[in-house]
Amino acid sequence: LLVEWNDTTVDYPHATLPALFEAQVDRTPHAIAVVCDDTQLTYQELNTRANRLARRLADRGVRPESVVALFLDRSADYIVALMAVLKAGGAYLPVDPNSPADRVTYILGDAQPTLVITSAGHESALPQKPERILLDALPGSEAEERAGRDLAASDRNLEALPQHPAYVIYTSGSTGTPKGVLVEHASLTSLYHNHFGPGGLYATEIEAAGEQRFKVGMTAPLSFDASWDPLLWMVAGHELHVIDDLTRQDAHLLVSYAAANRLDVIDTTPSHLEQLVDSGLMRDNRSCPRIVSFGGEAIGNGLWQQLRAAELSAFNLYGPTECTVDALIAPVAAHAKPVLGKPLSNTEVFVLDAALRPVPVGVAGELYVAGVQLARGYLGRAG
């Protein structure tokens, strides 16, 4: 209970997320990094655009511990803006333009971001403060060659360290006032290495594919931490498909998209996955992905057994927003019935009673999580 199940220590390299991404750009500059609607960006194109915006953010005072809000539609440019914030040293805060106005106002008022990156079409929905940058109105002078190069230490206001925050994502507020969860680069890069490092979660499938890159569908709202699992696939060198809102919310359209684009990886919730399966996701080789990962809610035994019988790899990923996306992982093939599984690398989990004592196997209790992936805390709520 205390030792064997939690013997998870792995010595991963210390890095920030932009450093991992820039290393991938150097390896595969001309490979497709992001696809959204009719837009395709190579790693070099994505990196160049992000660098240009990152310099502008640094000029506006963005630095480590700064929060920069993204108030944008799903697009390839969203990924550009996200990477730019991280490259400038800031922490990105996703704010969904489809959210109710009072939630948008509350989040921006509570987080007090240094800047908001938005578009002309959404600017009027923002409160008067904070300052904003219109992504679709940047001047052409930003296109010079120097501005597209990776930022040096002298280009930033302060060099970001693994202990600096990478993102702030707000809870839904279902158990009280929404709170901003502050997650550091060290936590995010630990998740990356757990998934894509030697012996990682997806190592067997990636090794079996050889030199072939995977096509990964992003279906989660970008304001949820679940969006990071597909994003990390891109950082690892695979092709990220940012599925538009109309397609991702219609099971038949999404299955058609998966088949037409031969998506290899789908990451979603069990209830959404059930709709996709009913719409033919695993009906034939063309529409069946190689990997399905799911989380965010409990999965029923019926769907679990369907996944066990299918010719794919399936993973149950469990974790609260406060624990950098995933805390426990269960390969479906290894378990006859639904379980949460075992802790990720450098993560510990304990099932305790009301007096914080470990309960025996099979006895109900509450799940406690510890380790490097635990968030720093709630933004502005150190207590």
> pTM for the full model?
0.95
At 287, is the pLDDT very low, low, confident or very high (cuts 50, 70, 90)? confident
Average pLDDT in the 297-309 region? 96
Please determine, for residue 139, whether its predicted confidence score (pLDDT) is greater than 90: no
At 181, is the pLDDT very low, low, confident or very high (cuts 50, 70, 90)? very high
Nearest to 73 by CA among 117, 137, 130: 117
For 260-270, how does the pLDDT look when each residue is reduced to its tens digit (9 = 90+)? 999 999 999 99
Per-residue model confidence (pLDDT) at position 290: 96
Q: How far apart are CA 316 and CA 332, in angstroms?
A: 7
Question: Which percentage of the chain shows pLDDT scores above 70?
Answer: 98
Greater confidence (136 vs 325) lies with 325
For 64-113, how does the pLDDT look when each residue is reduced to its tens digit (9 = 90+)? 999 999 999 999 999 999 999 999 999 999 999 999 999 999 999 999 99
Work out the end-to-end distance of the chain between its first and last CA atoms, rounded to an integer number of angstroms: 29
Tokens of 271: 């209830």
At 125, is the pLDDT very low, low, confident or very high (cuts 50, 70, 90)? confident
Per-residue model confidence (pLDDT) at position 268: 97
For 313-354, how does the pLDDT look when each residue is reduced to its tens digit (9 = 90+)? 999 999 999 999 999 999 999 999 999 999 999 999 999 999
Average pLDDT in the 13-17 region? 93
Per-residue model confidence (pLDDT) at position 179: 95
For 31-75, how does the pLDDT look when each residue is reduced to its tens digit (9 = 90+)? 999 999 999 999 999 999 999 999 999 999 999 999 999 999 999
Bond prior to 130 in cis (omega within 30° of 0): yes
Mean pLDDT of the chain: 94
Please name each of the domains of the chain with its CATH number.
Answer: 43-160 (3.40.50.980)
Tokens of 283: 């009906």
For 196-232, how does the pLDDT look when each residue is reduced to its tens digit (9 = 90+)? 999 999 999 999 999 899 999 999 999 999 999 999 9
Per-residue model confidence (pLDDT) at position 140: 55
At 176, is the pLDDT very low, low, confident or very high (cuts 50, 70, 90)? confident
Q: How far apart are CA 54 and CA 77, in angstroms?
A: 13
Per-residue model confidence (pLDDT) at position 130: 85
Please determine, for residue 141, whether its predicted confidence score (pLDDT) is greater than 60: no
Per-residue model confidence (pLDDT) at position 148: 82
Mark 187-224 as b/e (b = at least 16 C-beta within 10 Å). Answer: bbbbbbbbbbbeebbbeeebeeeeeebbbbbbbbebbb
Q: How far apart are CA 52 and CA 147, in angstroms?
A: 5
Q: Which of 231-240, 254-263, 279-288 has the lowest mean pLDDT?
A: 279-288
Average pLDDT in the 120-135 region? 88
Q: Which long-range contacts (CB under 8 A, 24 or more apart) does 101-105 make?
A: 101/125, 103/173, 103/178, 104/71
The CA–CA distances, whole Å, from 378 to 53, 104, 127, 367 equal 28, 18, 23, 19
What are the two backbone dihedrals, phi and then psi, of residue 354, each rounded to the nearest 5 degrees? -65, -20
3-state SS record for the chain: CCCHHHCCCCCCCCCCHHHHHHHHHHHCCCCEEEEECCEEEEHHHHHHHHHHHHHHHHHCCCCCCCEEEEECCCCHHHHHHHHHHHHCCCEEEECCCCCCHHHHHHHHHHHCCCEEEECCCCHHHCCCCCCEEEHHHCCHHHHCCHHHCCCCHHHCCCCCCCCCEEEEEECCCCCCCCCEEEEEHHHHHHHHHHHHCCCCCCHHHHHHHCCCCCEEEECCCCCCHHHHHHHHHHHCCCEEEECCHHHHCCHHHHHHHHHHHCCCEEEECHHHHHHHHHCCCCCCCCCCCCEEEECCCCCCHHHHHHHHHCCCEEEEEECCHHHCCCCEEEEHHHCCCCCCCEECCCEEEEEECCCCCECCCCCCCEEEEEECCCCCEECCECC
Q: How far apart are CA 173 and CA 371, in angstroms?
A: 25
Per-residue model confidence (pLDDT) at position 156: 86
**Burial classification of residue 28, based on how many CB atoms lie within 10 Å of its CB (0-12 exposed, 13-18 middle, 19 or more buried):** middle
Query: Bridge-partner residues for 157, per DSSP?
Result: none
Per-residue model confidence (pLDDT) at position 75: 96
> Which residues, in sequence order, are CB contacts of 217 under 8 Å at separation 6+?
230, 241, 243, 254, 257, 258, 263, 265, 266, 267, 289
Per-residue model confidence (pLDDT) at position 365: 97
Average pLDDT in the 171-179 region? 86
Per-residue model confidence (pLDDT) at position 72: 96
